[in-house]
């Protein structure tokens, strides 16, 4: 029995063909849209992950024969242990440790990684999570080898006692971050995790990223991960108000060869900053702008931050001074601007943020925030802040 004529069969075949083509188009378009969404997601991931660290195995998870892949030990020094441990870490399972039991500072011991310098970036942001046990002096050092075969270096972070009589560093995992300038003509960069004095120091999640010139303004020296909401202490931190003197701020002693300047033509933000200009080649006595505030509350630490501009500055300090109930006096450096080692060049940079966390001694009644100059040079300070943290 014939259900359809030949003409109707041909018509049904054409309809079926159109339906099949339509289904194919729908599937194709759906797949394309899905692929597009995946591509967008992948693009977002790429953006989030850049810039990338130039270091290999910055978390020390990969090892061969208990040595972290990509990292090398420095010289063998009596009284120093180089340790790769799979039992202690900030994240993951491993870190590297330097343990020094002898009471001397040289020679220096270091874990290090060397990489070729590529690209045109003029700065390097170096970051590491550090755990310290009675550490008197440890350094995150960045070393540069030029095409002329000459080495230079800059400290990215300092862990330990900065002044005679200061206690050693004792803290759980804490992030240290800084930005260093890459000298012209550099062909190789070496990131070195060093110990000078006695103590035990662990390093994890070490990274080094190329950044452009403007990124030097992002410069936290150390970050306290448990910081509480800010409780700012200082009056007139940007030096915008005042008549003949900035409100709330005082000058230290008058010193031949030093100018105290309330500069209304140079500022990081607003229209004013405080400046110290020293033209004599000596380091003492110290000149300083300072502000005193009463100690309040129970916080045990103080985070101090300032934006700094320097010209040929050999040594300037953001100093925090503590006065106790019996007029006992102590101090801690929150930030160091200038040449840290003999032969280092003076600091020359546009506005850059320095910050540090200091411990408040028990019994403190008064806190002075002092913006100091020791050696020759010119230094400007702006947007100075001090806040209690737990």
Judged against a pLDDT cut of 70, whether residue 41 lies above it is answered with: no
Q: Which of 218, 272, 267 is nearest to 245 (CA)?
A: 272
> Which structure tokens are listed for 246?
């900035």
Question: On the CB side of 316, how many CA atoms lie within 13 Å of its CA?
Answer: 30
pLDDT band at 232 (very low <50, low <70, confident <90, very high): confident
Confidence at residue 13, expressed as pLDDT on a 0 to 100 scale: 55
How far apart are the C-alpha atoms of 184 and 49, rounded to whole Å? 27
Judged against a pLDDT cut of 50, whether residue 25 lies above it is answered with: no
More confident residue, 217 or 103: 103
Within its chain, how far is the Cα of 35 from the centroid? 39
pLDDT band at 386 (very low <50, low <70, confident <90, very high): very high
- Above pLDDT 90, what percent of the chain? 66
Judged against a pLDDT cut of 60, whether residue 5 lies above it is answered with: no
Confidence at residue 384, expressed as pLDDT on a 0 to 100 scale: 96
Which residues make up the CATH 2.60.120.260 domain(s) of the chain?
63-218, 250-389
**Do 362 and 298 contact (CB within 8 A), yes or no?**
no
The residue-averaged pLDDT of 191-214 equals 91
The residue-averaged pLDDT of 5-19 equals 51
Mean per-residue pLDDT over the chain, rounded: 84
How far apart are the C-alpha atoms of 160 and 137, rounded to whole Å? 5
- Above pLDDT 70, what percent of the chain? 82
pLDDT band at 369 (very low <50, low <70, confident <90, very high): very high
The residue-averaged pLDDT of 194-207 equals 96
Three-state DSSP class for residue 257? coil
Return the CATH architecture of domain 250-389.
Sandwich (2.60)
pLDDT tens by residue, 242-284: 989 999 999 999 999 999 999 999 999 889 999 999 999 999 9
The pTM of this model reads 0.48
Three-state DSSP class for residue 76? coil
CATH homologous superfamily for 63-218?
Answer: Galactose-binding domain-like (2.60.120.260)
Look at the alpha carbons of 17, 18, 19, 21 in this order and tell me if their dihedral is positive or negative: positive
pLDDT tens by residue, 113-131: 999 999 899 999 999 999 9
Judged against a pLDDT cut of 80, whether residue 47 lies above it is answered with: no
Query: Quick one: DSSP state of residue 91?
Result: S
pLDDT band at 342 (very low <50, low <70, confident <90, very high): confident
């Amino acid at each position: 029995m014939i259900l359809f004529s030949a003409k109707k069969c041909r018509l049904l075949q054409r309809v079926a063909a159109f339906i099949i083509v339509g289904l194919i188009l729908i599937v194709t378009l759906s797949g394309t849209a899905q692929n597009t969404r995946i591509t967008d997601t992948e693009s977002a991931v790429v953006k989030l992950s850049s810039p990338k660290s130039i270091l290999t195995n910055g978390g020390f998870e990969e090892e061969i024969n208990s040595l972290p892949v990509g990292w090398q030990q420095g010289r063998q020094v009596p009284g120093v242990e180089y340790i790769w441990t799979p039992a202690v870490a900030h994240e993951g399972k491993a870190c590297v440790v330097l343990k020094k039991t002898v009471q001397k500072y040289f020679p220096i011991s270091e874990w290090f990684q060397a990489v070729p310098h590529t690209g045109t970036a003029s700065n390097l942001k170096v970051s590491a999570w550090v755990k310290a046990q009675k550490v008197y002096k440890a350094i995150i050092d960045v070393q540069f080898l030029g095409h002329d075969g000459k080495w230079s270096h800059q400290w990215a972070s300092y862990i330990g006692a900065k002044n005679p009589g200061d206690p050693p560093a004792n803290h759980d995992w804490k992030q240290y971050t800084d930005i260093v300038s890459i000298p012209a003509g550099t062909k190789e960069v070496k990131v070195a995790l060093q110990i000078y004095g006695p103590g035990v120091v662990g390093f994890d999640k070490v990274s080094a990223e190329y950044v452009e010139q403007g990124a030097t303004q992002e410069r936290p020296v150390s970050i306290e991960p448990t910081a509480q909401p800010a409780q700012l202490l200082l009056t007139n931190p940007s030096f915008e108000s005042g008549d003949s003197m900035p409100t709330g701020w005082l000058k230290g002693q008058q010193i031949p060869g030093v100018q105290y300047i309330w500069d209304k033509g140079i500022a990081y933000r607003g229209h004013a900053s405080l400046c110290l200009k020293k033209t004599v080649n000596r380091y003492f006595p110290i000149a300083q702008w300072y502000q005193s505030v009463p100690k309040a509350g129970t916080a045990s630490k103080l985070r101090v931050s300032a934006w700094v501009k320097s010209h040929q500055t050999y040594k300037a300090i953001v100093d925090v001074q503590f006065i106790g109930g019996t007029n006992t006096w102590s101090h801690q450096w929150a930030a160091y601007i200038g040449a840290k080692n003999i032969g280092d060049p003076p600091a020359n940079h546009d506005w850059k943020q320095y910050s540090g966390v200091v411990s408040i001694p028990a019994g403190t009644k008064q806190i002075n925030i002092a913006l100091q100059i020791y050696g020759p040079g010119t230094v400007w300070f702006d947007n100075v802040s001090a806040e209690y943290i737990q």
